[in-house]
A and B are shown apart, each in its own frame.
Chain A
Amino acid sequence: MIQTTSPEIGGMGHAVKRKEDARFIQGKGNYVDDVHLPGMVFGHVVRSPYGHARLKSIHIDEAMKVPGALAVITGADLAAAGLAWMPTLFHDKQMVLATGKVLFQAQEVAFCVATEQYAAADMAELVEVEYDELPVLVDPHKALDPDAPILREDREEKSNHIFHWEVGDKQGTQQAIQGSPVTARVDAVFQRCHPAPLETCGCVADFNPVTSKLTIWLTSQAPHAHRTLFSIVGGIPEQNIRVISPDIGGGFGNKVPIYPGYVCAVVASLKLGRPVKWIETRSENLQSTGFARDYHMTAEIAADRDGTVKALRVKTLADHGAFNAAAQPSKFPAGLFSICTGSYDFPKAFCEVDGVYTNKAPGGIAYRCSFRVTEAAYLIERAMDVLAHQLKMDPAELRLKNFIPSDKFPYQCPLGWTYDSGNYAAAMNLALKMAGYQDLRKEQAEKRKKGELMGIGISSFTEIVGAGPGHTFDIAGIKMFDSCEIRIHPTGKAIARLGTKSQGQGHETTFPQIIAQELGIPQQDIVLEEGDTDTAPYGLGTYASRSTPVAGAATAMAARKIRDKARKIAAHLLEVSEEDLDWEPGKFFVKGAPSKAKTIQEIAFAAYTNLPEGMEAGLEAVHYYDPPNLTFPFGTYICVVDIDKGTGEVKVRRFIAVDDCGNIINPMIVEGQIHGGLTEGLAIAFMQLISYDESGNVQGGNFMDYLLPTAVETPHWETGKTCTPSPHHPIGAKGVGESPNVGSPAAFVNAVVDALSHLGVTHIDMPIAPWKVWQILREKGIT
């Protein structure tokens, strides 16, 4: 990224140090649990121990005897107010507090409120709930069996089938498969996992009975959308709700849904007329909030004998848990899964997905998934490797052969997307070079002769982010634009507010850099705020890597509106016409007479003191940006592993990540995002699983068994970049936050399979725990 502003201005491409760090390194962040209000009381949720049961009775007398007990809210209480159920973000509803039955272990059954947090916990233990157990359904493959228990009695159609969705050319793909000499097939499960940000979800709901205003401090990645939904669901006038999303300790999609705990806290606050704090524990977070993945996928690639791909057919079974609470655009029941043709030029493709209910927690869209792109990228990258091994072709060579050529962009893929730009070969070639690929293959061949197991895995993913154009995208009906409002002060400093909400991505530093680029105001002179719905312009929030593509564009456009007005003021000050002026970051000057100039600071001052006749005072603008298309970042990752034959342990020796996200605002921040996302991908590939036994008991429901890597397990990440700007984006940028999580699991898995491929291994499902590798080696007589 070529920097075209000075370091003092700090526009695009500068590795500006972060403004937000000042408070975090001093322990002065303001996370939701740090909020203390006078008279504040505490909530604690009572949860179902059963995966499927009738709710017979709830007795609260013992709980109410706890000193400090104030109230116990049950589903029956909410039902009386029409709030026992709430809409999900995806054409379904879910219980706030259980009525009639419970549908997953850890489901919310009652909400205890006490003057002290410890008392609320004591209350929860004393609430007596009677259940009649019902047969449990945890295997999605059995959900549609004739004898499967029907989970959702509230739905008209008495079936566990939620949706069928398909896209592409079914017949054409079928014919291409039948007519091709080679078909490679993989059955790949992307296991249920959980984003587990370090800060759990929670809120402080503060209803002021005097003003009738409800203020909610909320762990929210989308504060405006949440405000609107609280208003509609709760019947509270929207002007009387203020959602404040303060500092958020990581989101990764976990903080997009509205959870029952929030609703209960709001109801309790309305009822008691005082602030109610509810912060969930880690176990509650893992067991009841939005999980990720649980996609059971099959891909078939048809190809010629020389490896040229002809068709892709994909069939997926999606386990959604007890309610369809997938937080994704409303026309896409499988999110953006149809990006599954990936970086390859498939003439024909067909994709179908069926969603089912099971007795598990609801969710599905989370963990840096870009709306199911993680599943799609994993599948196609696994399938390409299966094809490569089947054809005894080098996996890099097979990919290079089939990449969409760089001159074919904008590219219309057979499943409907128009990729904006790409140069897949450049990223691949850089990654191969950084890795020293040929030497690695030589080393592998030598090691193989000695019986040592070493593997090299490649993943060349294409991402699709920046949702999204109004004609196609909305969440719960709200279009997915985003916004930026900029106000320049008389002394040339500025404040900007966005409709997005950072949870660590550094917006307070990066968005001012866009403004600095456009206006030449030093980035340190620009304050950036997000998250308070009373002051920030309406936006859809931060997730699915959309902030830079959408709000970043809005920021540039708002800045350009300001620059347009600034030009008029400059012309007035310099007594020339606008056409006689040229611009360089920070000043307008007269063409041919560069000393006759006005700085943006002088112009700002004039906007309040010396305006042209008839012009409104002030220097500000707001822009709501409707993106014309999504953006398509991409990259190639290469992973090198060594396997300990005696124990099955896989050691990641090296990991090379080449990412292309177009023009970069702050390379330091992008690199940090890559490191973090790769570490999540590592965890998913090797360690993470949320599972349920046949009785519906959740396994991996706390940090003892849901594993997060420490600094010891995490390898050193080698990063590189290429730059293929987005032609439709005002600053040529694409998103990047999720690319490492999208692209890396396949690289890890491909490497392990590659290490064992000479033994006939073609696929291993994640998480690849040492015992899985060991069992394979034992079967093959290696250990």
Chain B
Amino acid sequence: MIPPVFEYVRPNTIPEAVSLLQLHGDDAKILSGGQSLIPMMKLRLARPAWLIDINAIPDLAYIREADGYLQIGGLTREADIEASELIRSKYPIIHETARVIADPQVRNLATIGGNLAHGDPANDHGATMLALEAEVIATGANGQRSIPIQDFFQSIFTTALEHDEILTEIRVPAPAARSGGAYFKLERKVGDFATAGVAAQVTLDSNGVCTKAGIGLTNVGPTAIKAVEAERFLRGKKLDAENIAGAARQAMEESQPSSDLRGPAEYKKGLVQELTKRALMRAAERAGR
């Protein structure tokens, strides 16, 4: 309940933040929304000696379209993503994802940057960004670099971010015409992590044939999983019931859930199959519009 002692600093610029990270090395952690980090500190499972609060750094929270991308600043609050009319109308898959993260109060502080950088396979944005083939922009001592999301999640709580890098932006390629996506999450109650979650994003050609498919899975493996075989299966096919079922079966095979208090692994696999089906159907509907 009571966190251990730590020192606190609140830099005003990214270069300041980065040099603090370099200075303190493994003793330091970034404080963004804090909605994953602070609970861990209260249980004394995380004990950073230094907290570097980046919330005062300006121009890190934004939602905009530019250069063919949707660009979301790393410090953008989940509540603002949920409320964004731009995202709700053009990227409903992201709206649906943000909306089911934790609860309203947590969403007022939690950031998309933190959600991704924490590397928790139970966090929801990972699957969605994998389905959207997004790019992570990391800013460090050597400036900015772009990390494809497929290379971002390495293992549980471990991402491709260097210790002195901050996730400053996530960018999503603007979808082609006749694209649609959806996120389905099953949770034991509002506020829980996913028992399983599936994000599906598809693009159809004028004949209704799938030219692009992205499927991401939440909390059924050591990281968010990109169901590449299921995606491959769908390319070049129509999104009819049979093909959707085939892709769903494939996605299920690619999931690696563990049994825990949310349910046995077999159930979670079954859920992946079912939720993939529903997500693909909804995505196809939205693409066909």
A residues neighboring B (CB under 8 Å):
117-118, 121-122, 125, 281, 283, 646-649, 687, 699-700, 704-705, 707-710, 712-713, 769-771, 774-775, 778, 783
Contact = CB atoms under 8 A, between A and B. Distances in A.
A355 B193 CA distance: 37
Given A771-B263, A771-B267, A646 B189 contact: no
Given A647-B186, A707-B188, A712-B190, A121 B267 contact: no
Contact of B278 (A117, A118, A646, A710): A646
B271 interface: yes
Contact of B188 (A121, A699, A769): A769
Interface of A is mostly: loop
22 contacts: A121-B1, A121-B2, A125-B4, A281-B1, A646-B278, A648-B267, A687-B188, A704-B192, A707-B189, A707-B192, A710-B189, A710-B191, A713-B189, A769-B263, A770-B188, A770-B195, A770-B263, A770-B267, A771-B262, A771-B267, A775-B266, A778-B266
Contact of A699 (B2, B5, B261, B275): B261
B270 A783 contact: yes
A262 to B, nearest CB: 19
B64 interface: no
A646 B274 contact: yes
Contacts of B237: none
A118 B267 contact: no
Given A121-B2, A687-B189, A647 B264 contact: no
Interface residues of B, number: 25
The 4 closest A-B pairs by CB, nearest first: A771-B263, A121-B2, A771-B267, A646-B274
B44 interface: yes
A648 B266 CA distance: 13
Nearest to B2: A121
Contacts of A712: 189-190
Interface of B: 1-2, 4-5, 44, 103, 186, 188-192, 195, 261-264, 266-267, 270-271, 274-275, 277-278
Nearest to A704: B192
A774 B267 contact: yes
A647 B262 CA distance: 13
Nearest to A44: B2
A772 to B, nearest CB: 9
Given A118-B2, A771-B264, 4 more contacts: A709-B189, A775-B264, A775-B267, A783-B270
A713 B187 CA distance: 11
A713 B103 CA distance: 13
Given A281-B1, A687-B188, A647 B271 contact: yes
Contact of B190 (A117, A649, A713): A713
A10 to B, nearest CB: 38
A774 B186 CA distance: 13
A646 B103 CA distance: 25
Contacts of A117: 2
Contacts of A783: 270, 274
Contacts of A713: 189-190
Nearest to A124: B2
Given A770-B263, A774-B267, A775-B264, A710 B190 contact: yes
Which of B191, B195, B266, B267: most chain A CB closer than 10 A? Answer: B267
Contacts of B1: 121, 281, 283
Contacts of B275: 647
Nearest to B263: A771
Contacts of A649: 186
Which of B5, B189, B192, B266: most chain A CB closer than 10 A? Answer: B189
B261 A700 contact: yes
